[in-house]
Amino acid sequence: MFTGIITDQGRISALTKSGDLLARISCGYDTGTIDIGASIACDGVCLTAVALGEDWFEVQISAETVSKTNLDTWDTGRIVNLERALKVGDELGGHIVSGHVDGVATVVSMHDEGDSTRVTLRAPDALARFIAPKGSVALNGTSLTVNEVSRAEFGINFIPHTKEVTTWGQVSVGDRVNLEIDTLARYVARLHEFG
């Protein structure tokens, strides 16, 4: 489990395709505190560390994961949001995030509002019903509050701090981002089906 509070930005230093996709990610983490088999959210996707170096870790990514996320756009040099798994007793500053991406949203517009940036995204139709104003979503692993919703489109506001410590400072119209809907919304919708 994760919180959606990004704790590092990593750089993809190598990609190898051999059945699955193997990605080496350079990071600022003390990799001596990471165990082989540890879960690390990379742009919101829960991935398993399979190898470690002094300032990098490697993750193996299945074709299934690549097909359901934006990891098909990864290339060498790309910067990605990172978060290590939540530990009992850690502060829960965002919301409960599983790292199991539900789909890919697309950035459809963006404009500055004061020092912040308002970004409108389009969710896949099947996921739009789970997104509500003032609810939570995780986008590329970042816990965010939804401002408004209109059909499959929803708005997010990025403050300068978020743009500085995550990859959201480099976002562009047309970008595809990993979307994880709020777990509570998923269960409320499921209960409603039988209510």
Phi first, then psi: what are they for 87, rounded to 5°? Answer: -110, 150
Q: How many CB atoms lie within 10 A of CB 122?
A: 15
Phi first, then psi: what are they for 189, rounded to 5°? Answer: -65, -40
Q: Nearest-CA neighbor of 171 among 100, 115, 120?
A: 120
- Cβ atoms of 80 and 168 within 8 Å: the answer is no
Query: What is the reported pTM?
Result: 0.94
Q: If you ran DSSP here, which 8-state letter would residue 175 be given?
A: -
Mean pLDDT taken over the chain: 94
**What DSSP assignment string belongs to 29-98?**
S-GGGPPTT-EEEETTEEEEEEEE-SSEEEEEE-HHHHHHSSGGG--TT-EEEEEEPP-TT----S--B-
Residue 163, H or E segment: helix 160-165
Q: Which residue has the tokens 């959210």?
A: 41
pLDDT at 195 over 70: no
User: Residues with Cβ < 8 Å from 4, sequence gap 6 or more?
Assistant: 83, 94, 95, 97, 136, 138, 141, 142, 143, 144
- Cβ atoms of 166 and 80 within 8 Å: the answer is no
- The amino acid present at 111, given as its one-letter code, is H
Q: Which CATH fold topology does 8-84 show?
A: Elongation Factor Tu (Ef-tu); domain 3 (2.40.30)
Q: Where are the domains of the chain?
A: 8-84, 103-194
Q: What percent of the chain has pLDDT over 90?
A: 85
> Which pLDDT tens digit goes with each residue over 46-101?
999 999 999 999 999 999 999 999 999 999 999 999 999 988 877 778 888 999 99
- The amino acid present at 33, given as its one-letter code, is T
Going by pLDDT thresholds of 50, 70 and 90, the confidence category of residue 145 is very high
142-150/153-158 β-pairing: antiparallel
Domains 8-84 and 103-194 share a fold: yes
> Which pLDDT tens digit goes with each residue over 15-26?
998 889 999 999
Q: Nearest-CA neighbor of 6 among 97, 91, 83?
A: 83
Classify 103-194 by CATH class.
mainly beta
